[in-house]
Amino acid sequence: MAKGLLEKLRQAGRFCEAGNFNGENEALTLYREVIGQLSPAIRHASPLLGEAETDYKNGNLTHSLQKYKKSLTMPLRIWNRNRQ
């Protein structure tokens, strides 16, 4: 996974932990930027990413954020584990 994408995922996680509205909006922006840079095969392989995108388009931002976070934090954990 590209280093720039990982940094965006880390930043999004920090915004989520802040627990405020502005942070959640920033996290959504970062998650969506990361997803936009993933290959279509990866995006379509995760039903949860599709659900997150649908929630986002329907204005269910809280559900969307939860689903983006859940689907995108696992690759970050795997990458960090492999670096050790």
Q: What is the pLDDT of residues 51-64, one digit of tens each?
A: 999 999 999 999 99
Residue of 44, 51, 42 lying closest to 70 (CA atoms) = 51
Q: Tell me how many domains the chain contains.
A: 1
Widest Cα–Cα separation across the chain: 40
Please give the residue range of the domain that contains residue 58: 3-83
Q: What is the pLDDT of residues 22-80, one digit of tens each?
A: 889 999 999 999 888 887 887 787 888 899 999 999 999 999 999 998 888 766 666 56
Token pair of 43, please? 């995006």
Residue of 70, 75, 47 lying closest to 62 (CA atoms) = 70
